[in-house]
Amino acid sequence: GAASKGEYRHFMLKEIYEQPAVISAALEGRLSDTGVLVESFGPEAAALFARTRQIHIIACGTSYHAGLVARYWLERYAGVPVQVEVASEYRYRYPVVPEGTLFVTLSQSGETADTLAALRYAKTLGYIGALGICNVPGSSLVRESDLTLMTRAGPEIGVASTKAFTTQLVALMLFTLALAKCRDKAPLSADEQTKIVQALKTLMPICQQVLALDSEIETLSQAFAEKHHTLFLGRGAHYPIALEGALKLKEISYIHAEAYPAGELKHGPLALVDSEMPVISVAPNDDLLEKLKSNLQEVRARGGELFVFADENVGIHAQDGIQVLHLPHIHEALAPLLYTLPLQLLSYHVAVLRGTDVDQPRNLAKSVTVE
Ligand code: G6P
C-alpha cells in the first residue's frame, strides 16, 4: 500500500528516524565477528575484488557524496586508488581505464538516467566488472550490473535523500572491508578490521543517541531561519559530509549553502565570512582535529558565528560566538555516518521554520529518469 507518515509531520523526518533500523538491516547477515562476508556481493565477488587494481565510482547528487566519502575509506583501508565523478560529466568524456579497474555505480533509485548511461558506456571501456550499490531491487541498475549490493533502506519518499545516503555509507564500508580482505597488501590489519566490524555493530544505539539531540538541534535551527547564506566546513572524509549537509539545506530550505574543505578557507571563502553568514562545522575526534580548530579560530577572528558538531572528547566547548553540540564518541572510520544525522535534522528544522514544502521541494524530482 501507499507509504504512510505515521506519527511524523513529514516523510523526511520519518526517514531520518528510520536510520538506526535500516542501518542494521543493511548490516544483517553480512558480517562475521571479524570481517565482512564477501559473498554478500555475489559469488564472483571474491575473485573480482582480488583482481581489482583501481576503482572508478560514478553517481549523481547525494549518491555522489557517498562516493566521495568512500574514496577516503577505500584508499586508506584497502589501498586501492579511487576516482569519483558525477555521471553527467563521466558519460561525455573519454576516460582512461587502466587495467584491473572496477566500475562502481551508486544510486538510490537505480533509474537515474545519467548514471545508467554511464554504466552502459563503461561496459564498452574494458573494466573488469561493474558493481552496483542500490536501494531498489529489480531496478535497471541492478539488472545491468555484474555484482550488486542492496542498501535495504526501504522506500524513500522525501525528495531530499536521508536514509538512502547513510545506508549507502554502510554498504561502502562493507565494500571497503571486503576489498581489504581480498587483496594481498591492504593497509588494514586484521586487528583494525575487527575493530571496525565491532564498531559497525554498535551503530544502531549510537545513531539513536544522536537522534535524541533533535530538540537541541531544533533550537539551533532558529539561528538560520532568516539567513541567506551558510558555509559548511569539514576535513578529510568529513568534507563530503559538509557537502551533503550543504546540499540538504539548499534542497529543502532554499538557503544558499556552500561547503569547503576547512583548509581551503583562506583561499577565498574567508572573504565572505561576517556575522550574517553562519558557519557550520563537523569536528569528530580524528588526527585532523587540531588543524580544524585553528580553521575555526580564523572564522571567529572575522566575526563569523560558528555552529560546531563535535566529539564529546575533543575539548571544543561553547563560548562567545561558538555554539557546540556534542556527539557520542565513535570509531573514527564510522564518524562520517554519524555526523550526517545532525546535519539532516538541522536542514529539516530550518525548512519547517521557513515553511517550505519539505517533502517535495520546488523544481526537484525524487528520481531524474530523463537527461
Ligand atoms: C535526484 C534526487 C537526489 C538524488 C539524485 C540521485 O536529484 O533528488 O536525492 O541523490 O537524484 O538519485 P539516485 O536515485 O541515482 O541516487
Task: Kindly give the number of the ligand 1 atom that is closest to the alpha carbon of 160.
Answer: 9
Cα separation, 223 vs 132, in Å, equals 40
Give the position of cell 564477501: 38
Mutate to test the pocket of ligand 1, among 11, 12, 60 (most ligand atoms within 8 A of CB): 60
Q: How are strands ordered across the β-sheet holding 147-150? A: 82-86, 54-59, 101-107, 129-134, 147-150
Grid cell in block for residue 361: 521541494
Beta bridge partners of 84: 57
Q: What is the pLDDT of residue 1?
A: 43
Q: What is the ipTM of this complex?
A: 0.99
Cα separation, 340 vs 135, in Å, equals 19
Print the SS3 string covering 165-224.
Answer: HHHHHHHHHHHHHHHHHHCCCCCCCHHHHHHHHHHHHCHHHHHHHHHCCHHHHHHHHCCC
Report helix, strand or coil for 307: strand
The answer to whether the CB of 173 falls within 8 A of the CB of 157 is: no
Q: How are strands ordered across the β-sheet holding 279-283? A: 256-261, 229-234, 279-283, 306-311, 322-327
**Whose alpha carbon is nearest atom 2 of ligand 1?**
366
Q: Rounded to a whole number, what is the distance in angstroms from the first to the last CA of the chain?
A: 30
How far does residue 165's CA lie from ligand 1's centre (Å)?
10
List per-residue pLDDT tens for the chain, 371 residues long: 467 899 999 999 999 999 999 999 999 999 998 899 999 999 999 999 999 999 999 999 999 999 999 999 999 999 999 999 999 999 999 999 999 999 999 999 999 999 999 999 999 999 999 999 999 999 999 999 999 999 999 999 999 999 999 999 999 999 999 999 999 888 999 999 999 999 999 999 999 999 999 999 999 999 999 999 999 999 999 999 999 999 999 999 999 999 999 889 989 999 999 989 999 998 787 777 787 788 888 888 888 899 999 998 888 888 888 999 999 999 999 999 999 999 999 999 999 999 999 999 999 999 999 88
**Whose alpha carbon is nearest atom 5 of ligand 1?**
61
How far does residue 366's CA lie from ligand 1's centre (Å)?
6
Count of residues for the chain?
A: 371
The answer to whether the CB of 119 falls within 8 A of the CB of 130 is: yes
Determine if ligand 1 sits within 6 Å of the CB of residue 61: yes
Grid cell in block for residue 41: 556481493
**Whose alpha carbon is nearest atom 7 of ligand 1?**
61
Cα separation, 103 vs 185, in Å, equals 21
The CB-based long-range contact list for 120-128 (8 Å cut-off, 24+ gap) reads 120/144, 121/90, 121/91, 122/56, 122/58, 125/95, 125/97, 126/97, 127/56, 127/97, 127/101, 127/102, 127/103, 128/48, 128/51, 128/52, 128/100, 128/101, 128/102
Grid cell in block for residue 53: 587494481
**How much is the pTM?**
0.96
Residue-wise over 137-156: b if at least 16 C-beta within 10 A, else e? eebbbbebbbbbbbbbbbeb
